[in-house]
Every structure is written in C-alpha cells, then in structure tokens.
Amino acid sequence: MKGKVLVIGAGGVGTVVIYQMAAHPEVFKKIMIASRTKFRCDDIAKKIGDNRITTAQIDADNVPELVKLIKRFQPELVVNVALPYQDLTIMDACLEAGVNYLDTANYEPKDKAKFEYKYQWAYQEKFKKAGLTAILGCGFDPGVTSVFTAYALKHYFDEIHYLDIVDCNAGNHGKAFATNFNPEINIREITQKGKYWKDGKWIETEPQEIHKPLNYPEIGSKESYLLFHEELEALVKHNPTIKQARFWMTFGKEYLTHLRVIQDIGMAGIKPVNYNGMEIVPLQFLKAVLPNPGELGAHYTGQTSIGCRITGIKDGKKHTYYIYNNCDHHKAFTETGTQAVSYTTGTPAMIGAMMFMKGIWEKPGVYTTDEFDPDPFLEAMNKCGLPYNEKHDVDLEMDY
Ligand code: NDP
C-alpha cells in the first residue's frame, strides 16, 4: 500500500506531526508512531482517535531493532523526530531497509555539543546509490528558514548578500524556567559559542556576546542574541554570494539568569559524573526535573515570530526583503494540545513528508530544505496553519 509513514519520537514535535498527518488522509494512509516509551505513542494515538494510527516501542539507538520494525511495517518514509543523537542510526537503518528519511535537527554526538552537517552529508553517495531521498532539518529553523531563503532567491533576488534569520518567542508559559523543546538539546544549543559567516569565513563569539533589540511584527522590540544555527552552514555553502549570514534568537532576562545559574552550578554539564555509584549526566538529570515542553501549552499565551531578513540585488538594484510567520501559542494548543514551538516544528516536518509522498521533493541523495522547490512547500504552509507574510524594501534594522 502507498502512503505509509513511520514517525519516530513521541515528544511535543512528534505529537504535532501525528496530528497534522492525521488531518491529511489523502496523503498519509497508514501512520505508525514508535518511540522509546510506548505509552507516549499510545497517548497520542488515543487523543487523535484515528484507526489509521498504530504504535510501537523502539530503541532508535539500535540499528537491527530499527531495521526489523521498518521491514515489518514497510513505510515509504521514516520521519525522525526523536533526538539528534539518533539521526545516524536511523539513517543507517533506512539504508539497510531501503526506505527514505526525513529529520528536523542535524546529528550531534552526545559528548560534543556542536552542530555540523559533515556527519550526515557523508551519507550523500550511499543514499544516491540506493535511490533513496534524505531530507535534513525540516522543522522551522532549520527547515522553513531555508525554504524562505530559497524562495527569496527564486523570486526576488539575483544574488543574496546579507541574511539574518530572526527567531522570536514572545510567549509566556507562566513557569519560572522551561525550555520550548527538548531541554537537553536546547541548553546545549544556547550555551555553546556563537558563530556567524562574514566575508568567506566563520567568526566565533562568546555565548550571548552579541545582542541587539529587534522589532518583530505584532510583537514589538525584543532583545535578540546572535548564536550559531545549523542552517547557516548549509545556506552559505549553497549560496556563495552571501557575504554575511547570522542567526538571532530572543531571550528574556529571567531565562538568561536561570541559564547562567544552571551553568554556574554545573547542571548544564554533558560529561557523566559519579552519583552514589551511578554515572549520571547533569544536563540529562536536569531534563528530568524541568517542565515537559510538550505539556507547556495549556497556559501559554503570546506568539512566536520566525523569519529571514535578506538584502541582495535584483537587476543590479539593491533590495531588502523580510519573510516571516507568526504563530500563536494558544491557537496551536487549541488545535494540537501543544505550544507554538512544537507546532512550528512538527507542521513543517509533516509538510516535508507530504512533499516527499507526493513525489514533489524526491531526489536520491541527502539534501537540506533549501535544495528543493520552495513554492509547493510554502503553498502548503498557508493551508496547514503556518501562513507566511512578506515585506519588501523595508528597514531590516541590520547594521551592515
Ligand atoms: P522531546 O524530548 O519532547 O521528544 C523526543 C522523543 O524522542 C521522546 O518521545 C523520546 O522518548 C524519544 N526518544 C529519545 N531517545 C530515543 C531513542 N533512543 N529511541 C527512541 N525514541 C527516543 O523532544 P521534542 O519533541 O521537543 O523535539 C524533537 C526533535 O525536534 C529534537 O531533535 C529537536 O532538536 C527537534 N527540534 C527541531 C526544531 C526545528 O525548528 N528544526 C525546533 C525544535 C525542536 P522518551 O519519551 O522515552 O524520552
């Protein structure tokens, strides 16, 4: 049967992926959700109450177990919304079982908090040879931000010179401290050194060293901090005309104070420590006591606003362009029971899967989302709860 998809990971993002797939029965005819803790899969299936959804337990670090499950269910595509640590084992299993692959975050080794595509780009020839497609980083950022950039280049620019990806969460969940997606992955991302592309090389900064207030549509001014984000690596590789590429994310003072204390007392550590004769990783223990990001939605108010601010040339003339989406936490909760960060990640993952299942985004090899046609993807975003907005020749508030 055509239209079978296996989703691995049953957190906040996995929940949205399943909700959105269930809403498109013409594309997704049979959906299996598998994860380490099976009751989470069962809970999602029960909430949606659709007999096209089945569940399974899986350890996604174990390739033979994965291959067995994939061969039993025989999907056309595996959607990985577990953790970045599982990317390579799931890609290996897909190759062995002969199925296609999609994820939302690039591989990170557990003992090194560093985003790099090199591990997954190394699979290029293997996927090509097998005639299989791997779509990498198909959430919002990475994911939609790269589609936005490709769309800008396709329709409005001959050359992109300056790219600033801006990610604002102006929501309030009412907790003293919580992360909006997996706390371990989120804290690893924010506490590492910043990095941006300028004139052909990477410039490294201290964590949160560079910051400035930026105005976000319908939100207003928010302090925005420069950090490194994985899509920058792919976008500067694929667009050699880019002179400068940066990524900005907003944080509140309270969030940064908690984060500093967490680091100062060693709770952000990723090296195992001995506790009562047992090895534990401080950051993994911290995750166990922090609020579950997938369950923040009930009292979350406010919006996210994520987009790309681009300067470049068209027909020899300089232009600026801002393309973005605003997503309301409460609206996301009403629709899927999760907050906007899970929603803005899970919805593009479903759309990427839909693009593949329809044969629109299908080419053997390993690709990031800027390497496919952006138009059908953005058209689907408008229909699936994530409409985009555009502003032409406006002040981008950028200093270059
Ligand atoms: P959660 O921690 O809420 O969910 C992760 C899920 O993966 C859990 O169900 C967990 O199981 C499962 N899992 C973890 N390890 C394994 C394993 N070895 N085998 C099987 N299942 C496993 O994370 P989120 O839903 O918040 O995030 C999911 C992914 O989305 C992450 O990779 C994150 O980096 C990415 N992301 C991407 C964004 C983007 O815009 N591109 C933005 C936000 C997130 P258990 O329940 O047992 O813990």
Rounded mean pLDDT of the chain?
96
Give, using CA atoms, the residue closest to atom 1 of ligand 1. Answer: 11
Closest Cα partner for 76 from 23, 17, 22, 7? Answer: 7
Sheet strands (E) in 1-125: 4-8, 30-35, 53-57, 77-80, 100-103
- Both tokens assigned to 375: 């138009």
- Integer Cα distance of 41 and 38 in angstroms: 5
Mean pLDDT of 117-146: 98
Beta bridge partners of 389: 324
Categorize the per-residue pLDDT at 1 as very low, low, confident or very high, splitting at 50, 70 and 90.
low
Where would I find the H helices in 337-399? Answer: 340-357, 374-383
The count of other CB atoms within 10 Å of the CB of residue 85 is 16
For residue 113, pLDDT beyond 80? no
Ligand 1 contact, 297 CB (< 6 A): no
Categorize the per-residue pLDDT at 399 as very low, low, confident or very high, splitting at 50, 70 and 90.
confident
Q: What is the pLDDT, as a whole number, of residue 239? A: 97
Q: What percent of the chain clears pLDDT 90, i.e. is strictly above it?
A: 91
Ligand 1 contact, 352 CB (< 6 A): no
Tokens 């907005």 locate to: 389
- Both tokens assigned to 171: 């929501």
- Both tokens assigned to 281: 């990783």
Q: What is the pLDDT, as a whole number, of residue 41? A: 98
For the whole model, what pTM was predicted?
Answer: 0.96
Ligand 1 contact, 9 CB (< 6 A): yes
**What single-letter DSSP state applies at residue 291?**
P
- Integer Cα distance of 366 and 172 in angstroms: 37
Closest Cα partner for 396 from 236, 245, 216? Answer: 216
Q: What is the pLDDT, as a whole number, of residue 47? A: 94
Q: What is the pLDDT, as a whole number, of residue 184? A: 86
Ligand 1 contact, 40 CB (< 6 A): yes
141 by Cβ neighbours in 10 Å (0-12 / 13-18 / 19+) ranks as buried
Ligand 1 contact, 142 CB (< 6 A): yes
Closest Cα partner for 242 from 335, 160, 140, 119? Answer: 160
**Cα 313 to ligand 1 centre (Å):** 39
Domains recognised in the chain with CATH numbers? 4-136 (3.40.50.720), 144-336+387-392 (3.30.360.10)
**Cα 80 to ligand 1 centre (Å):** 8
**Cα 82 to ligand 1 centre (Å):** 4
- At 282-328, the pLDDT tens digits run 999 999 999 998 889 899 999 999 999 999 999 999 999 999 999 99
Ligand 1 contact, 18 CB (< 6 A): no
